[in-house]
A and B are shown apart, each in its own frame.
Chain A
Amino acid sequence: MRRFRAVALGASALVLLSACATGGGTQTSSSPGATTGATPGVSCEPATGESTENEITIGSAGFYEAQLMGEIYAQALEANGFTVTRELGIGPRPQTYEALRSGRVDLVPEYSGSLLSFLNLECAEEGAEAPTGDPDQTHAALTGRLEALNLAALAPAPAQDQNTFVVPPEVADEYGLETMSDVTEVAGELTWGLPPECADNPVCGPGLLEVYGIDISELDVEELAACDTPIAVALDEGQVDIGQLCSTQPDIQRFGLVVLEDDQQLQPAENIVPIVRADLLEANSELADTLDAVSAELTTEELLELGVRVAVDQEDIADVAADWLSEHGITE
């Protein structure tokens, strides 16, 4: 799940301008069968581009984790005889997706659930499937969705970057918490840090009620955005007992927080998955195998570790990627 950065005041001016430009109030999705997406600049036409054997351009979103994944895939392909051009850090998903679709880049590392939701929103289709907590179902739905767009999803990594509820170790010990189901009984005794949009978000408020029997309207809640620094600090300082972080967020390790298992799979699956143009895949028969072997080695815990090295220890992304690849025997 993409992290929401607290947006500076200046950005709200830009949002106002863009709101006027699109002439709309709240975001709407496009009508089924539309060729342009709901967001300006996103097209729903199939992907195009030039495919050359053993040559590939890899792009990524701006966030450090996306760039790290792009760099890992890039180095793995270089070790297997590819000439790789990097365009990492393109921007938010609409821009990165359009870069892939227009052929400016050939491959982008993505998150299965978020990409599927994005495509459903931008390019609505009859009978479109939404992501679920099941990684296999989500990946299959995504693959099906991408076919008509001349895109393909390679094998997903076990690693996921999802929203996840975490507690400080003292709270886990006191209430004996290991899974979200354990929380149901004691929910009323905890102070919760929940995002402001939780009541409206199907996988937050309504989902907690339906799946875990937790009614957020009866809880003691502080409004704090998920996956961000204030909620992590609030958890560390004991100002809230339970909050939402991202499963690969370095603060989990930095503050020694305990991740609660989403045993009923409420949160949509967000496996790391390389998305590539289908015709380029055909032109390069070894591409899928090479990258599948890389993805298979990546777990959530490992991605968290790598995140700590990049975001906390401020190490160079290329070095961290190189170390990981050689540790796993993919490169020398």
Chain B
Amino acid sequence: MEFVSDVLAWIADPAHWAGRDGIPIRILEHVQMSGVAVLLATLIALPAGLLVGHTGRGSLVVISIANVGRALPSIAILSLALIFTIRYVGLGFWPTVIALVFLAIPPIVSNTYVGIREVDRELVEAARGMGMREREIVTRVEIPIAMPVILAGLRTASVQVVATATLGAIVASGGLGRYLIDGIATRDDVRIFVGAFLVALLAIATEVFFTVLTRAVTSRGTARQGEIAPEHAAQAVRPGGL
């Protein structure tokens, strides 16, 4: 248990809380990279998922993207993307963020698509009958009902991004990955452990954040969500968990 005391000593050391390589800065950098990546991915994936879910057209593309995203391990996606992105946007923050965007898109687009498809078609027809325009149907009927499933997609994407952003350190980015990659380079097991531990904490915090958010945003009428039709079950991430 000498290792445990080494880890505690490392965390307790005030030098590790100050400066460019200190815990607060690294956490901040990590959150920034993850946040920007999820935001950009949402800006791309959410409208796409809404469009395909509402119209029903282009579902094959969505399903294919979701399946490829699920089949390839996130580490593989990121490593491949990084070698590509550093050629165009340099080192550090941006190639990592762009690579993470590739990672985040599949869960968001596929859950959005499934969430919208799952909305009772009779409700949609009723709304149309009332004279609602298509855009209003999406925003006032479909999205509120699909919200838990959509948020589940965002949650999955965010947790994956937080966990995988560590690899950005390979292309000179900041973030908690620096503790992992630098620790491996200097064979400092304590540093590696601290890095992994902090990333895990951050991932858990992200989960908690989305759980609270989902509860706050889901209207009471749809709170009984949990059932997804069998033909869509393969594509969606269940709201209750991964």
Using CB atoms, name the residue of chain A closest to B74: A9
The minimal Cβ–Cβ distance linking A210 to chain B, given in whole angstroms, is 20
Do residues A239 and B163 form an inter-chain contact, with CB atoms below 8 A?
Answer: no
The one of A8, A24, A27, A224 in contact with B172, judged by C-beta atoms closer than 8 angstroms, is: A224
The one of B6, B75, B170, B189 in contact with A10, judged by C-beta atoms closer than 8 angstroms, is: B75
Do residues A15 and B189 form an inter-chain contact, with CB atoms below 8 A?
Answer: yes
User: Would you call B112 an interface residue if the criterion is a C-beta within 8 Å of the partner chain's C-beta atoms?
Assistant: no
Q: Which of B49-57, B85-93, B140-148, B218-226 lies at the binding interface? A: B85-93
Q: A20 vs B192: C-alpha distance in the bound complex, in angstroms?
A: 13
Interface centre among A4, A9, A10 (most CB of B within 10 A): A9
Please report which residues of chain B, range 58-87, place their CB below 8 angstroms from some CB of chain A when the two chains form the complex: 75, 79, 82-83, 86-87
* Residues on B with beta carbons closer than 8 Å to the beta carbon of A197: 182, 185-186
* Residues on A with beta carbons closer than 8 Å to the beta carbon of B190: 25-26
Do residues B192 and A16 form an inter-chain contact, with CB atoms below 8 A?
Answer: yes
Q: How many residues of B contact A (CB 8 A)?
A: 35
Q: A234 vs B79: C-alpha distance in the bound complex, in angstroms?
A: 15
Please report which residues of chain A, range 8-33, place their CB below 8 angstroms from some CB of chain B when the two chains form the complex: 8-13, 15-16, 19-20, 23-27
The one of B75, B82, B187 in contact with A230, judged by C-beta atoms closer than 8 angstroms, is: B82
* Residues on B with beta carbons closer than 8 Å to the beta carbon of A224: 91, 170-172
B residues within 8 Å of A by Cβ?
A: 2-3, 6, 75, 79, 82-83, 86-87, 90-92, 163-164, 166-167, 169-172, 178, 180-182, 184-190, 192-193, 195-196
The one of B6, B164, B172, B184 in contact with A12, judged by C-beta atoms closer than 8 angstroms, is: B184
Do residues A233 and B83 form an inter-chain contact, with CB atoms below 8 A?
Answer: yes
Do residues A195 and B185 form an inter-chain contact, with CB atoms below 8 A?
Answer: yes
| Chain B binding surface, main DSSP class | helix
Q: How many residues of A contact B (CB 8 A)?
A: 35
The minimal Cβ–Cβ distance linking B7 to chain A, given in whole angstroms, is 8
* Residues on B with beta carbons closer than 8 Å to the beta carbon of A233: 83, 86-87
The minimal Cβ–Cβ distance linking A110 to chain B, given in whole angstroms, is 21
The one of A12, A195, A223 in contact with B196, judged by C-beta atoms closer than 8 angstroms, is: A12
The one of A13, A225, A229, A237 in contact with B185, judged by C-beta atoms closer than 8 angstroms, is: A225
User: Would you call A200 an interface residue if the criterion is a C-beta within 8 Å of the partner chain's C-beta atoms?
Assistant: yes
* Residues on B with beta carbons closer than 8 Å to the beta carbon of A239: 86, 90-91
The minimal Cβ–Cβ distance linking A4 to chain B, given in whole angstroms, is 7
* Residues on A with beta carbons closer than 8 Å to the beta carbon of B6: 25
The minimal Cβ–Cβ distance linking A219 to chain B, given in whole angstroms, is 14
* Residues on A with beta carbons closer than 8 Å to the beta carbon of B172: 193, 222-224, 230, 234
**Chain A to chain B: the 6 pairs with minimum beta-carbon distance, closest first:** A19-B189, A196-B182, A25-B6, A197-B186, A222-B172, A197-B185
Using CB atoms, name the residue of chain A closest to B6: A25
Do residues A196 and B186 form an inter-chain contact, with CB atoms below 8 A?
Answer: yes
The minimal Cβ–Cβ distance linking B19 to chain A, given in whole angstroms, is 13
Knowing A222-B172, A239-B90, A239-B91, the reply to whether A230 touches B192 (Cβ < 8 A) is no
11 contacts between A and B (CB under 8 A): A7-B184, A9-B163, A9-B164, A12-B184, A16-B193, A19-B3, A24-B3, A25-B2, A26-B190, A230-B172, A234-B86
